Amino acid sequence: MKGNISFSLSFNFNCMKQKFNRREFISMAAAAGTGLAVAGPNFALGQESKKPAILGGSKAYTSGFSAWPLFDDREEKALVSVLKSGNWGRLNGPVVAEFEKAYAGLNGAGHCLGVSSGTAALTTILGALGIGPGDEVVIPVYTFIATYNVVVLNYALPILVDTDIETFQIDVKKAEAAVTAQTKAIMPVHIGGTPADIDALIRLGEKAGIPIIEDACQAHLAEWKGKKVGNFGLAGAFSFQSSKNLNCAEGGAILTNDADFARACYTFHNQGQGGTGTSYGTGSGTRATNLRLTEFQGNLLLAQMTRLQQQVETRTENAKYLTELLADIPGIEPAKWYPGTTRSAYHLYMFRYLKEHFHGLSRGKFVEALNAEGIPCDPGYGQMNRDAYVTGLASNPHYLRIYGEKTMKEWLDRNQCPQNDTLTREQSLWFFQTMLLGTRENMEQIAEAIRKIQKYAKQIAKA
Ligand SMILES: *Cc1c(COP(=O)(O)O)cnc(C)c1O
């Protein structure tokens, strides 16, 4: 996997779990032993703890962030009961259909189809729309590579749109400029779990007569004006891959309020065989595949869903508090929300690091210093439009045959994204959803770590 365009949670959380380093242990033991400590050593201890860990001070964060996934005997029962039933696939048992009903209900959507992954959800939507060679699909440049891959898998042309640097979301004005007579879908992503500018996107879709597909793979239970994402476009895609806020190892779902489109999706994901639930009907599509979810995954999701609402609330509260704390730190700019956003899923806590407020300390060094404090932090996505994995499409023989050399050359130019370049080369940083499942004190420790680094930025830059 190329670090630049695809991101995996590679950070070793185990190293976060080491409770105390030797120095801290000795300090604590000493403090405990002295009871009413004298001013001298105590003062020295205070100074030591205010120094960044990267310069030999003690870590701001010592207790370890939430494990992921969280589970207990609810999940064990869910898996064992499917096992013992002998009905392991959706064509054999009722559980995937039960999950679909529950997930549609939770999101206030008319229809839900469980599928084998978030990528499968997007693939099914594009398949049901009949998107293929010669078609263009508008997507944000700032996203997980899957958003791009599903377009290319259909030999359609992905048009990469620049990022609104303040929100990290697709720039809708630039999306509008990217629409041509060939555009068959606009596929915004609610990146980080925060809604893109949904009202503007829906207006654009209506004006252009093109369906909006919401890539909500990171945005479980996120809301726009009080309504759950995935309900606004023709359809929304969700991922239940291990790192996501709702997890069954690999899985996905489609939400839609269009009954005909729900049927078309079912047919596409089930080898062209129609019908709903577990029944077969006559095939209607001419292209289809098998992207079915299993009963094990369906029941695991039902068990995980008993925790979802509480987790969303915990992340919301912690993120709100963290944002308040960070507001006092110049040079740390949390991603802004569009006014319609009423809830973020906070799959990622995205923020900009402006090094001019840190004596020019590079983003890389800042991350290193934060990691030394015991705090995971990552630059995240890069310049997808410049990555060889993507630019190589311009010399793909199938693309050259379908679109011609001139179009593919122009395509490289159409994908220029200057705002995204600035954001991802110098500024963008992420905290992760598991960090927001901690305590209020954890949020204070994150802010404290950043303040220490800011204070000692000159020394860290030289170290
Ligand atoms: C995770 C993700 C996907 C793909 O989901 P999988 O379940 O991993 O296939 C697609 N788009 C975005 C934005 C994602 O974060």
Cα(93) to ligand 1 centroid in Å equals: 27
Give the pairing of strands 183-186 and 341-343.
unpaired
The 10s digit of each residue's pLDDT in 284-336 is 557 899 999 999 999 999 999 999 999 999 999 999 999 999 999 999 999 99
Mean pLDDT within 33-49: 39
Pocket of ligand 1 (CB under 6 A): 117-119, 143-144, 146-147, 189, 215, 217-218, 239, 241, 252
Q: Is residue 40 part of a domain?
A: no
Q: Is residue 392 part of a domain?
A: no
pLDDT of residue 62: 83
Distance CA 253, CA 316 (A): 23
Residue 346 phi/psi, 5° resolution?
A: 50, 50
Confidence check: pLDDT of 33 > 70: no
The 10s digit of each residue's pLDDT in 376-426 is 999 999 999 999 999 999 999 999 999 999 999 999 999 999 999 999 999
Distance CA 172, CA 86 (A): 49
Instruction: Please confirm whether the linkage preceding 69 is cis (ω < 30° from 0).
Output: yes
Question: Mean pLDDT, the chain, as a whole number?
Answer: 89
Number of domains in the chain: 1
Mean pLDDT within 243-262: 97
Q: Is residue 447 part of a domain?
A: no
Query: At 7, which helix (H) or strand (E)?
Result: none
Residue 135: which CATH number? Answer: 3.40.640.10
Nearest Cα residue to 343 out of 218, 221, 246, 185: 221
184, 244, 365, 452: the catalytic one is 244
Residue 183 phi/psi, 5° resolution?
A: -65, 125
Distance CA 368, CA 382 (A): 18
Which residue's CA is the closest to the ligand 1 atom numbered 7? Answer: 118
Q: How far is CA 152 from CA 222, 393, 407, 425, in A?
A: 28, 9, 15, 25
Q: Which residue has the tokens 């064992």?
A: 80
Confidence check: pLDDT of 32 > 80: no
Q: Is residue 97 part of a domain?
A: yes
pLDDT of residue 49: 59
Nearest Cα residue to 157 out of 179, 189, 129: 179
> 282 versus 375: which is more confidently predicted?
375
Range of the domain at 289: 73-307
Q: Is residue 250 part of a domain?
A: yes
Q: Is residue 22 part of a domain?
A: no
Confidence check: pLDDT of 356 > 70: yes
Catalytic site includes residue 50: no
Mean pLDDT within 226-231: 98
Quick check: 301 and 160 in contact, CB under 8 A?
A: no
pTM over 0.85: yes
Cα(218) to ligand 1 centroid in Å equals: 7
pLDDT of residue 1: 31
Cα(239) to ligand 1 centroid in Å equals: 5
Cα(118) to ligand 1 centroid in Å equals: 5
Q: Is residue 399 part of a domain?
A: no
Of the residues 145, 241, 301, 346, which should be mutated to test ligand 1's pocket, given the most ligand atoms within 8 Å of the CB? 241
Distance CA 126, CA 160 (A): 17
Distance CA 274, CA 73 (A): 36
Of the residues 119, 169, 214, 254, which should be mutated to test ligand 1's pocket, given the most ligand atoms within 8 Å of the CB? 119
The 10s digit of each residue's pLDDT in 163-201 is 999 999 999 999 999 999 999 999 999 999 999 999 999
Query: At 422, which helix (H) or strand (E)?
Result: helix 418-422
Instruction: Give the number of the atom of ligand 1 that is nearest the alpha carbon of residue 250.
Output: 7
Which residue's CA is the closest to the ligand 1 atom numbered 10? Answer: 146
pLDDT of residue 64: 77
Which residue's CA is the closest to the ligand 1 atom numbered 5? Answer: 118
pLDDT of residue 10: 33
Cα(331) to ligand 1 centroid in Å equals: 30
| Confidence at 48, pLDDT banded by 50, 70, 90 | low
